[in-house]
């Protein structure tokens, strides 16, 4: 069964990179361009993992994560945060919100795969 990964980022380029990164794996990539869309997609699709940007219009990643953790049906979905800020205070703050891991932008495909593999087991597509 294919894994579902929800990529929530206002940058179409980042969403494209996430999609390309997981192309060799048995994973369906769902996309949302802000926290509001991401929350709706999470509720509708129940993804296995969410890759979530922090800084977005409409609803930022921190607000989305907070709402996700308040929802009994969605709070168990693991989240990996993407951030352009690597300061210690920022990392400590998002860790307290219940994220499983974080990745600082810009990032390499291998880094994202490694972080995701710590949370869910990726399987290569059958040849």
Q: Is residue 114 part of a domain?
A: no
Whether residue 124 lies inside any domain: the answer is: no
Assigned domain for 38 exists:
yes
126 within domain boundaries = no
d(CA 122, CA 33): 24
pLDDT tens column, 16-67: 999 999 999 999 999 999 999 999 999 999 999 999 998 889 999 889 999 9
Domain that holds residue 102: 3-107
Whether 93 is in a domain gets the answer: yes
CATH code: domain of residue 78: 3.40.50.2300
- Asked whether residue 118 is domain-assigned, the answer is no
Nearest to 35 by CA among 3, 59, 7, 55: 59
Report if pTM > 0.85: yes
Tell me whether residue 62 is in a domain.
Answer: yes
């Amino acid at each position: 069964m294919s894994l579902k990964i929800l990529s929530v980022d206002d940058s179409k380029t980042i969403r494209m990179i996430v999609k390309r990164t997981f192309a060799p794996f048995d994973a369906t990539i769902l996309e949302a361009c802000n926290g509001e869309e991401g929350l709706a997609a999470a509720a509708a699709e129940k993804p296995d993992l969410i890759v979530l940007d922090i800084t977005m219009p409409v609803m930022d990643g921190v607000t989305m994560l907070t709402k996700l953790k308040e929802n009994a049906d969605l709070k168990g979905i693991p989240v990996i945060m993407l951030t352009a800020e690597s300061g210690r205070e920022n990392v400590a703050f998002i860790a307290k919100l219940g994220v499983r891991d974080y990745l600082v932008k810009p990032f390499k495909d291998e880094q994202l795969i490694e972080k995701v593999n710590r949370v869910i087991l990726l399987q290569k597509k059958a040849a």
